[in-house]
Structures are given as structure tokens and as C-alpha cells.
Amino acid sequence: MNHQTPPPEPIRELAHLGHHGLYTPDLDGSLWYFVDLLGMDIVEREGSTVYLRAYGDYERWTLRLSQREKPGLEYVSWRMWSPQALDRRVEWLEKHGLGGSWVTQEYGKGPAYQFEDPDGHVFRLYYETENYVAPEGKKPVIPVNVQAYAGRGANVHHCDHVNLLAQDVRACREFWEEAFGLRSYEIIRRADGSEVGAWMSSSLQGHELIYTQDNTSGNGRLHHFAYVVPTREEVLRASDIFADARIYIEAGPSKHTAIQGFYCYTREPGGNRIEVANGGYFVFAPDAEPYVWNLEEWSQKPGWGAPIPPQFHLYGTPVVDPEKELVR
Ligand SMILES: [Fe+2]
């Protein structure tokens, strides 16, 4: 093998998806969904903002739910590998005219640098954080675990990935690849070079950040957050829990073609789409190229996953076109 012209050194400065903010017009309903049905815990509450975590999260909190008139995304964050990595990425953003500003964070998290992606979604980068310390009664028997097995509701372990809607998927993908070294593992591309979907990751995990086409005129919208359970069977169990709770199951339980995760999609009472997920493959080869689907190949939908309902490709939060998006 010829290494005379080596590829550029990859940027490896994002450690993992961090904590995220969601807006809900029905805070009590959303809390019932996240706490009783998903099995997450409330860590702090301050007025109409509530901080939560799943039982596998090592950080003190990972979800900030705030009451607002409309549902939608407040921000997505990444934890950095080091304070130096944080400084380097901020420097890159500012040098390229894409900078934002520093924001103060609550309850044990250090300052974050906040900026927007090309579609207007708000992102934060941070390093300092406070770890969760389980109180008596929640201490795990195996000390490397964060807390004792929760065993409540769907019993989600942590947030697995975030799917955002974008007017220009390709521009968003190229931004994250260039600025942060995210790897794209699968892409759906039209004949004209524009893209319908891109599945990206900072790690071996098949997807952390996904962009799919926004088929409305909206910007900065959320398609879904996905919370992981350790087995496929637990996705089915979650579906039983949602059904008896009269929660609308929009898609699944079934298996995706891209990245091949097993899924169940619901909408929490505030209107945000949430997935309970399991699986998806890992990519070990450091030089793996993304798999690029053309539309014809994609439409054949190889594999056994169930058809996705049309509103899955329209509905996002905040809703911009209720007539189209809300048809079930
Ligand atoms: Fe997903």
C-alpha cells in the first residue's frame, strides 16, 4: 500500500452528544411521558424548566425541558474531548465567520459555546460537566455503573441520536465534516447532487447526528430524539407501554434500512417526536467511505422494515404547515 500522499489527519474533538434542550407547550404531559413512560428521572426543577437524566447517563443531567408556546428544539450539544479541543473548534468557527457566543449553563455544567448550523439549529460545545452521584437507594451493585438499574417504564438508557430537518441536507453534512470531522456513514443523494438524508457520527456508532430533508418551508426544526434500550425486545415492550398509555405510535416497531436500528416512534404530549431505539451497526474501518444511496435504490427499500407513513417525512417541531403535517 502506498502512503506517500497520506490523507489529512482526521479531526477528533467531539467526544459524544451531550445534553439537549426541548420546548414543550404541555410541560406536565411531557414530564409524564419522559418520567413515567420512558423511565427518566427529574434532577432539578426551576420554574417552568425541568432537568432530567436517563439511568445510564454519567452526567448530572442531559435533558432540559422548558415550557413554551410551541414544541421544538432549544439546542443540541456536544461534549468535547478536552478544553483545548473546545478552544480549537471555537477558533475554527470564528475564523470562518461562523462563530456564535459563550453561554452560561446550569447545574454543574461549565460554559458552552453556542452557534448555529447552516439550517439555523442551535448547537452548543462544552467540556466541563458534573458527574451524577447516585444517592443511597440508587447506588449500583457493580461500582462502574452510574446508578442501579431503573426498571421503570421503557427504561431508556441514554440518548442515542438526534435527527434534524434541513432545507439543504448536503450543506449541513459538509459543515459538520469540515468543521468537526464528523464521519458520514450513509447518504441518500439525488441525481442533481443534492441530498435527502445523511447519517453522521463522531465515533464508531452508526449515527449520532442525522439530517433529513425538511419537506415544509421551515428551518431549524427537530425530526426526533432517540433514546436507546439494550435489546430489540425492549422496543416491543416500550410499544406495549405506549399503546396502553394511549400514546400515538407513528411508526414501528420495525427496522430501519439506513444504519439498521430497530425503532418505535411516538410523539410525546408536547408534540415532539421521540424514538425508542435499539441497535444500528458500528463502523470500525478508519478509512470507510459513506454508502451513498441513489433514489432508485433507496426506493426499493431492501430488507424487511415496514413502510414508513407519509407524515413521518413531513411532521417536525415546531409545526409550520398544520394542514399537511398533522394528518394521521
Ligand atoms: Fe432515529
Helices 169-180 and 83-95: crossing angle in degrees, nearest 10, is 130
The three-state (H, E, C) secondary structure of 137-175, written as one string: CCCCCCCCCCCCCCCCCCCCCEEEEEEEEECCHHHHHHH
Cα(44) to centroid of ligand 1, in Å?
A: 27
Does residue 73 register a pLDDT over 70?
A: yes
What is residue 328's predicted lDDT score, i.e. its pLDDT? Answer: 58
Cα(289) to centroid of ligand 1, in Å?
A: 21
Half-sphere exposure of 19 (CA within 13 A, CB side): 30
Cα(92) to centroid of ligand 1, in Å?
A: 29
Cα(321) to centroid of ligand 1, in Å?
A: 22
Cα(18) to centroid of ligand 1, in Å?
A: 17
Cα(104) to centroid of ligand 1, in Å?
A: 30
Nearest CA among 259, 38, 282, 92 for reference residue 163: 259
Neighbours of ion ligand 1 (CB under 5 A): 226, 275
* Alpha carbon distance 251, 211 (integer Å): 18
* Alpha carbon distance 32, 53 (integer Å): 14
What is residue 1's predicted lDDT score, i.e. its pLDDT? Answer: 53
What is residue 327's predicted lDDT score, i.e. its pLDDT? Answer: 67
Does residue 2 register a pLDDT over 70?
A: no
Summary mean pLDDT of the chain: 96
Cα(276) to centroid of ligand 1, in Å?
A: 8
Other CB atoms within 10 A of residue 42 CB: 15
Spell out where 32-141 has E strands.
41-46, 49-53, 63-67, 72-80, 101-103, 112-116, 122-126
Query: How open is the CA angle 249-252-254, to the nearest 5 degrees?
Result: 165
Cα(228) to centroid of ligand 1, in Å?
A: 10
The whole model's pTM is what? Answer: 0.96
What residues are paired with 125 via a beta bridge?
Answer: 78, 113
Domains and CATH numbers, the chain: 14-325 (3.10.180.10)
